[in-house]
A and B are shown apart, each in its own frame.
Chain A
Amino acid sequence: SQTIHQWPATLVQPVGSPLSLECTVEGTSNPNLYWYRQAAGRGLQLLFYSVGIGQISSEVPQNLSASRPQDRQFILSSKKLLLSDSGFYLCAWSVYTGSNEKLFFGSGTQLSVL
């Protein structure tokens, strides 16, 4: 069966520090991978998605970047964190099955930038 791992679960970082969040998927090949951000009490905002190694699409201009060095690995990074980067970050994967695409989410990383 497929599983998705996301870490760390919580992170407290000072403003201006770098960030690296990692996500890995097991049990599937060539998945679509996603990074979402969720502000407290709000919906999900798509940040990045990737349909293959080295292929990254960005949805919104921001202080973050993403990379996909391996088929089942997706990394969210920042060189210098801002206060506004605080939030709950979710990694997700999908396997496109016809016109039905289900997203499966990781357990999330709660990032607090102080």
Chain B
Amino acid sequence: GESVGLHLPTLSVQEGDNSIINCAYSNSASDYFIWYKQESGKGPQFIIDIRSNMDKRQGQRVTVLLNKTVKHLSLQIAATQPGDSAVYFCAEKYNNNDMRFGAGTRLTVKP
């Protein structure tokens, strides 16, 4: 069936480096995507979203890139900080169906 997945389950980066978290989706009809950050023992927090009519969107220290040709979504975090350590989920939505989440990538920032 249709699914949202992540290329890497874990990612370790040095403090100050840039992080890139990847996500693959299989439903070409998906038209809305969100990245969430989940710290240990807490609920996911909205980070940034993008619609399928865009290929790039920037926030504060974060950028989401969407490549519809290969059905790929990525989250770039600039100058990664220890507070960025968390699990990051991508989610997709199409039409009025419910949002589907990937399994998540655990980002660890080394001091």
Among listed B44-52, B62-70, B71-79, interface-contacting one: B44-52
Report if B98 contacts A (CB, 8 A). Answer: yes
Report if B61 contacts A (CB, 8 A). Answer: no
B43-A101 in contact (CB<8A): no
* Contact pick for B103, options A43, A46, A101, CB 8 Å: A43
Q: Which residues of A contact B51 (CB under 8 A)?
A: 99-100
CA distance A30 to B45 in the complex (A): 21
Q: Which residues of B contact A49 (CB under 8 A)?
A: 98
Interface size on A, residues (CB 8 A): 22
Q: Which residues of B contact A41 (CB under 8 A)?
A: 104
**Chain A contacts to B: CB under 8 angstroms:** 6, 34, 41-44, 46, 49, 59, 90, 92, 99-108, 110
| 28 A-B contact pairs sorted by A residue (CB < 8 Å) | A34-B98, A42-B103, A43-B89, A43-B103, A43-B104, A44-B89, A46-B98, A46-B99, A49-B98, A90-B44, A92-B43, A99-B31, A99-B32, A100-B51, A101-B93, A102-B34, A102-B46, A103-B44, A103-B46, A104-B46, A105-B36, A105-B43, A105-B45, A106-B43, A107-B42, A108-B42, A108-B43, A110-B41
Q: Which 6 A-B pairs have the closest CB atoms?
A: A105-B43, A43-B103, A44-B101, A43-B101, A108-B43, A105-B44
**Chain B contacts to A: CB under 8 angstroms:** 31-32, 34, 36, 41-46, 49, 51, 89, 91, 93, 98-99, 101-104
